[in-house]
Amino acid sequence: MQIDLEQMLRNVRNRKPVIHNITNYVTVNDVANAELAIGASPIMSDDINEAKDIVAICNGLNINIGTLNERTVDTMQAAGTYANQMKKAVLLDPVGMGASKFRMDVTKHLVNHIDFDVIKGNASEIKALMQGTMSNRGVDVGFDDVVTKDNMKKIAEEMNKLARDKKCIVAMTGEIDLIANGLDAFAVYNGHAEMSQITGTGCLLAGLTTAFIAANTDHMFAATIASICAMGVAGEIGYSHKQPYEGNSSYRNHIIDALYHLSASDLAEKARYEQII
C-alpha cells in the first residue's frame, strides 16, 4: 500500500481546513498554534448553543475529553452528531479514559452514538477502549503498554479488530506508533522520547490528525499516517534546535515551530514507517 505523505501535507497547506476543536483547557493554546503551524484554521468552541453552526463552517471536528465536564460532554455529543449528519471528518481523543468511570462512560456513549473517522490514544487509552466498548467482550485485549518490534504485529491485529468493530481508523501512540484501519496496519518510528515530558503532545497530534483527515477525506488512513509521521518528524527537528539548557517548555515551542516550517519534502525524507499488516 503506497502512502503519499507529501500529497497529504500539501493538501493541508493548500486546502487550509477549518477545524472545530472541543478540547481541554490545558493544552488548547498549543493545539491552536499547532493547527495554524500546519496550515489549518482552528476554532475552539464548546457551547451547545453554537455547535451546529460551528460544525457547519468547519471541515473537521476534534473531540478531546481531557478536561471534560457535563456541559462540554453534551456539546461533544451534539457536535459529533451534527458532524456525522454533515459528513465532516471527526476524531476522538479519549484522554485518560481509564482514569475514571465518568470518562469511561462518556467515551462509551460517544463511541456508540457517533461515527468517528479516527480514534487516537495511547496504549492504556486504546486498551481501555477495547475493554469498555468492544461489542464482543470475549476479545483478549491484554497486551503490553510498550510497543516493540516484537509485539507490534500482535497488537496491531487487536487494533484491527477494534477498527472493524467501530468502523474507524485506530491510532495508538507511543515509542512506536501504530495505525490500523481494520485491514492494514502501519508502524511509525519517528519522534523523540522527551516528547512525553511535554504536556499535550498527544493533544497536538489529535489536532493535527483532524486537520490531515479533513483535508484528505478520500484518503483518511494515509492522512492519519502522514499526520503521525509529521508530528514525529517535528519532534525530531525540534529536538535538534534545543539548547543544552532547554527543557520541556522550550521543546514544546521548538516542535510547533518545526511544524510551521515542515515542508512536504522534509516529511517524505525524514518519515520512518512501514506497513506491518
Q: How far apart are CA 27 and CA 25, in angstroms?
A: 6
Q: Among 196, 173, 207, which residue's Cα sits nearest to residue 63? A: 207
Position 123 contacts its own copies (CB under 8 A) = no
- With the C-alpha atoms ordered 140, 80, 226, 248, is the resulting torsion angle positive or negative? negative
Q: How far apart are CA 125 and CA 202, in angstroms?
A: 12
Q: Which residue in 8, 11, 17, 42 binds its own copies (CB under 8 A)?
A: 42
Position 54 contacts its own copies (CB under 8 A) = yes
Q: Which is nearer to its own copies, 26 or 141 (CB)?
A: 26
Q: Which is nearer to its own copies, 4 or 50 (CB)?
A: 50
Q: How far is the CB of 115 from its own copies (least distance, A)?
A: 24
Q: How far apart are CA 19 and CA 217, in angstroms?
A: 13
Q: Which is nearer to its own copies, 102 or 139 (CB)?
A: 102
Residue 11 — φ and ψ, nearest 5°?
-65, -35
Residues in region 179-238 near its own copies by CB under 8 A: 197-200, 237
Cell numbers linked to 128: 481501555
Cell numbers linked to 175: 515509542
Q: Which residue in 17, 96, 174, 182 binds its own copies (CB under 8 A)?
A: 96
In the complex, which residues of this chain contact its own copies (CB under 8 A)? 24-30, 32-33, 36-37, 42-47, 49-50, 53-54, 57, 66-71, 96, 99-103, 197-200, 237, 241, 243, 245-250, 252-261
